[in-house]
Amino acid sequence: MNGPAYWGIAGYPISHSLTPRLFEIVGAELGLEAQSVYLEADSMDEFEANLQNLQGDIWLSCTAPLKHSPQARLAVSGPEGVNAINQLKRTNGVWSGTSTDGVGFVAACRHIGVEPNGSILRMRGGGSAARAIAAAWADEGGSIIPVEGRRALVGGPWDSAIIPEGEADLAIDLDAAAGGGESADLPAKQQVSISYGEDATVEDFAVIMVAAQHLEAWKRLFAPDQESKLPTLDSLLRCLFQ
């Protein structure tokens, strides 16, 4: 298998991102190398300007504020209801993409011993990550108590999973600022965050999730034919801070 010329992260802020390191670890497992890039961009205009000098194939994880814009500008469609992407791949000049926020969240929950099926998630926020998580959680048989933050969770494929109240098994504030921002306290047996900063450790749920969603990106977009050769989530996390 041939790898891309470049792989890395795009969005703003991204200086603390673990994604380039994750690409290196998984790539090494498959015998692939590429030049790591940090494409700092707070708009699609800046994103495309940064790409002008990068010739060849490129694999990218995208964070805010770039999760919606690629759909129109690069003709890449996100999953139904989610309508956003967080993984992009350019092969021979053609873009493709997917969203792994939701499936990565589910995998991270299972890693810490929370099974979505039959569990209640109290979730604050309504942005792209919230919609992706709602879709994946509902698909796995979980229930959701939405909490309005900066925006409300709109209707989508998760509608049948929405409940008005209950004892939440897990809570997450998706309006917490990037880079390790503080979360609002939400009633639940356990609360997690997907925002991590430069002092993050392998024990942080946010780190577990970013590793999990990165593995899902390899399975679904970057190298689906190499799925059987990918490292496990446990082994990827062990290598992350070595």
DSSP letter, residue 202: T
Angle, CA 96 vertex, CA 79 and CA 21 arms, to 5° = 95
Task: Give the tens place of pLDDT for each residue, 18-47.
Answer: 999 999 999 999 999 999 999 999 888 999
Using a 10 angstrom Cβ sphere, with 0-12 exposed, 13-18 middle and 19 or more buried, the burial of residue 190 is middle
pLDDT band per the 50, 70, 90 thresholds, residue 176: confident
**Global confidence as pTM:** 0.93
Greater confidence (218 vs 1) lies with 218
Closest-CA residue to 236 (of 161, 217, 225): 217
pLDDT for 181 equals 67
38-63 burial code (b ≥16 CB/10 A, e <16): ebebeebeebeeebeebeebbbbbbb
d(CA 12, CA 50): 13
In what helix (H) or strand (E) does residue 59 lie, and over which residues does it extend? strand 58-62
pLDDT for 95 equals 94
Percent of the chain with pLDDT over 70: 97
- Rounded to an integer, the average pLDDT of 129-147 is 96
Task: Give the tens place of pLDDT for each residue, 208-231.
Answer: 999 999 999 999 999 999 999 999
Percent of the chain with pLDDT over 90: 73
Question: What residues form DSSP beta bridges with 191?
Answer: 171
* Sign of the dihedral defined by the CA atoms of residues 210, 192, 168, 63, in that order: negative
pLDDT band per the 50, 70, 90 thresholds, residue 233: very high
d(CA 202, CA 207): 6
d(CA 11, CA 34): 19
d(CA 55, CA 42): 21
pLDDT for 34 equals 97
pLDDT for 185 equals 93
d(CA 176, CA 209): 15
Concatenate the DSSP letters of all residues of 65-99 into one string. TSSSHHHHHS--PPPTTT---SEEEEETTEEEEE-
Domain range list for the chain: 6-99+211-240, 102-192
CATH number for the domain whose boundaries are 6-99+211-240? 3.40.50.10860
pLDDT band per the 50, 70, 90 thresholds, residue 179: low
Task: Give the tens place of pLDDT for each residue, 58-113.
Answer: 999 998 888 776 667 888 887 888 888 899 999 999 999 999 999 999 999 999 99
**Residues 6+ away with beta carbon under 8 Å from 45:** none
